[in-house]
């Protein structure tokens, strides 16, 4: 195989291509250096001649030297890695491609047949991780994500931090060229190799390992899955050394893939459960503050059973409580004599205190003296130092280090045993009072939704009501924020929670990952999509259309980073200045001039889209058309221009 011969062959091919172009194939209009100057002179783009096109392609072609010897491999290390990962039952694997995991990528698609897991193409690593986070929120099991150190990993970091703070067991496989003697010149050094890739994200990883052999990989890959899924769950990372991927397996029969056995969640100690039951049954005004209690429908059923057994109201914002249940959202911290906190994601402190964001910051306890505070939380069992996502230290009377969902059956049982007929009568009376208050609150909310009904731009509440009206008879799921209490959440899967670590921008792919998990159930996925959030990694839309993930986006397009506008207003008010921006918008926090055409953006990536819509009368017909498209399997977007809040 000689270099010269190859060049002649390639030129010959290009000549053929040029001839076919001349014979009527598509004409290239990419400007050559010559045509660029012609364009700037008279503004008329000049198509390339076939010869110029051929030269331009030849100049850009940087194939490695054809004199390199060719080797083939029958049993690549990455095939074995795929064997290992297939035992972990991943449905999908999300990635943006990179050469340091070309071995693994090729094994997944050719050797693994691109099935179980199927490769999900992402245009940004943060998209890949957040698709995995969203998928977990619905599927209840991890999605694998592949990226490389350091570049891809750096892009992925915000998503991984979201996994950590949202207790999402993202399974990260990060390729790295460990052996310097094996690296290709230049490219494998710059942007593809690190000494310790996990150091970039170790502060918010639950566990990581860098296997030095294929057997080591097998054991650590299984251990990693187990660690990720042990409560409290969290992201893990396995480094897949590029040489291990690409080198042949010396002796496959010597390699063993260990079996996975998941660790059962920690259940509350029986003595503590009995004590808590006693306090709850004796309480006059018990209050449950429920964070991430439920992992599935069973968790929701158990939380409802505890609340109904005691006729105790439930606050807290987690996914466990049907939102129109009479006990949902009721109660008052100030009146409570026993407060039970369950897996409160960001801590319990914020619920028990009133904080004033004024020049002099102050925090005042809301609870009465003598109120007993109890927590059942697996989050007490695992905490790291650097990232402060835990809230202030809360004084409590009983702290049970346990998984709430697993502890609820014994707690419910213990409560039931203590309830006398007299206590039951008290509970029933209490339940009736809460039912009345809850019905009144729901009615008030309905009335409030009519305020500004005909406003142009649209009121956000009107958009919520109109969307509800077109989805309420369907098997719907909100893959992001929904319409609040007016969207009747009666099943666990109707909502998805959020694992974005307080970062704006990552929640678009979170919604897409959730919709991917809903796809096989045929649910109608709806996402109220904020404009600011949309502008970070909107390439995720392409992943949704490419992989035929049906979902409806309804833009909450207020043409601003409005949360930040409000902060700036607060600062201006405090300093008694800044009114000049009331009409023009706050520099640095509004997204106008030009206005973004979100329908055009979505269409450019293959979605069906309508808008911008600011006149209320146009909304319902657009929603109906968009839902019809989603029901046919498409991605649809309706850009609604709304009032700031």
Interacting residues toward ligand TPP by CB under 6 A: 502-505, 530-533, 558, 560-564
Least Cα distance to 173 among 194, 215, 145, 212 occurs for 145
- Answer whether 639's CB lies under 8 Å from 610's CB: yes
Minimum CB distance to ligand TPP, residue 246 (Å): 36
Nearer to ligand TPP, 125 or 531 (CB): 531
Minimum CB distance to ligand TPP, residue 124 (Å): 14
Minimum CB distance to ligand TPP, residue 356 (Å): 20
Least Cα distance to 130 among 479, 386, 388 occurs for 479
In a 10 Å sphere around its CB, with 0-12 CB exposed, 13-18 middle and 19+ buried, how is residue 594 labelled?
exposed
Tokens matching residue 271? 């003595």
Dihedral of CA atoms 400, 406, 412, 415 in degrees, nearest 10, equals -20
Phi, psi of 590 (to 5 degrees): -110, 155
- Per DSSP, helices labelled H in 450-539 are 460-471, 507-519, 531-534
Residues facing residue 528 across a β-bridge: 554
In a 10 Å sphere around its CB, with 0-12 CB exposed, 13-18 middle and 19+ buried, how is residue 180 labelled?
exposed
Nearer to ligand TPP, 189 or 355 (CB): 355
Minimum CB distance to ligand TPP, residue 640 (Å): 13
In DSSP notation, 45-75 reads: --PPPHHHHHHHHHHH--PPPTTS-----SS
Distance CA 557, CA 595 (A): 10
Nearer to ligand TPP, 236 or 496 (CB): 496
Q: Crossing angle, helix 404-418 and helix 297-310, to 10 degrees?
A: 30
* Residue closest to ligand TPP when measured from CB atoms: 532
Radius of gyration of the chain (CA): 29
Minimum CB distance to ligand TPP, residue 39 (Å): 38
- Answer whether 189's CB lies under 8 Å from 415's CB: no
């Amino acid at each position: 195989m000689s270099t010269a011969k190859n060049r002649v062959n390639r030129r010959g091919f290009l000549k053929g291509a040029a001839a076919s172009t001349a014979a009527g194939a598509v004409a290239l209009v990419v400007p050559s250096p010559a045509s660029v100057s012609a364009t700037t002179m008279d503004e008329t783009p000049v198509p390339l001649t076939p010869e110029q096109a051929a030269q331009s392609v030849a100049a850009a072609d940087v194939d490695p030297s054809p004199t390199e010897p060719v080797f083939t491999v029958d049993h690549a290390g990455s095939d074995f890695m795929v064997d290992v990962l297939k035992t972990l039952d991943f449905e999908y694997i999300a990635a943006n491609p990179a050469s340091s995991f070309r071995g693994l990528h090729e094994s997944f698609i050719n050797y693994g047949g691109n099935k179980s897991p199927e490769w999900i193409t992402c245009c940004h690593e943060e998209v890949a991780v957040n698709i995995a986070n969203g998928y977990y929120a619905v599927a209840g099991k991890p999605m694998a994500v592949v990226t490389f150190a350091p570049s891809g990993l750096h892009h992925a970091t915000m998503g991984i931090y979201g996994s950590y703070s949202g207790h999402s067991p993202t399974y990260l496989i990060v390729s790295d060229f460990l052996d310097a003697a094996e690296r290709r010149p230049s490219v494998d050094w710059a942007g593809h190799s690190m000494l310790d890739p996990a150091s970039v994200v170790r502060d918010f990883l639950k566990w990581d390992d860098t296997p030095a052999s294929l057997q080591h990989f097998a054991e650590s890959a299984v251990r990693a899955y187990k660690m990720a899924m042990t409560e409290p769950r969290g992201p893990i990372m396995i480094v897949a050394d590029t040489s291990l991927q690409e080198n042949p397996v010396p002796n496959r029969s010597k390699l063993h893939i260990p079996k996975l056995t998941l660790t059962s969640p920690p259940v509350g100690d029986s003595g503590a459960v009995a004590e808590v039951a006693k306090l709850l049954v004796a309480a006059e005004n018990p209050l449950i503050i429920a964070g991430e209690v439920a992992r599935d429908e069973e968790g929701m059923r158990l939380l409802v059973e505890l609340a109904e057994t005691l006729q105790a109201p439930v606050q807290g914002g987690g996914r466990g409580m049907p939102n129109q249940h009479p006990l949902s959202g009721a109660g008052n911290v100030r009146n409570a004599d026993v407060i039970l906190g369950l897996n409160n994601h960001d801590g319990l402190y914020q619920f028990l205190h009133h904080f004033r964001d004024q020049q002099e910051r102050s925090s005042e306890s809301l609870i009465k003296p003598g109120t007993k505070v109890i927590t059942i939380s697996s989050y007490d069992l695992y905490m790291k130092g650097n990232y402060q996502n835990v809230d202030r230290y809360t004084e409590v009377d009983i702290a049970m280090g346990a998984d709430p969902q697993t502890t609820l059956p014994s707690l419910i049982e213990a409560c039931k045993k203590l309830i006398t007929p007299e206590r039951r009568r008290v509970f029933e009376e209490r339940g009736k009072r809460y039912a009345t208050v809850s019905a009144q609150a729901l009615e008030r909310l309905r009335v409030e939704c009519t305020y500004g009904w005909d406003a142009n731009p649209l009121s956000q509440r009107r958009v919520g009501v109109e969307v509800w009206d077109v989805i309420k008879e369907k098997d719907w799921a909100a893959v992001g924020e929904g319409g609040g209490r007016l969207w009747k959440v009666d099943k666990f899967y109707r909502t998805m929670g959020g694992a974005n670590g307080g970062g704006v921008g990552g929640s678009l792919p979170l919604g897409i990952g959730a919709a991917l998990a809903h796809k096989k159930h045929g649910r109608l996925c709806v996402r109220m999509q904020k404009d600011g959030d949309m502008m970070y990694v909107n390439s995720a839309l392409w992943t949704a259309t490419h992989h035929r993930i049906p979902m409806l986006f309804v833009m909450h397009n207020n043409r601003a980073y409005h949360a930040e506008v409000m902060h700036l207003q607060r600062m201006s008010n405090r300093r008694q200045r800044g009114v000049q921006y009331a009409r023009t918008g706050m520099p640095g926090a509004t997204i106008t001039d030009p206005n973004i055409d979100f329908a055009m953006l979505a269409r450019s990536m293959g979605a069906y889209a309508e808008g911008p819509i600011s006149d209320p009368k146009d909304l319902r017909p657009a929603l109906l058309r968009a839902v019809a498209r989603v029901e046919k399997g498409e991605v649809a977007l309706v850009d609604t221009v709304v009032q700031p809040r």
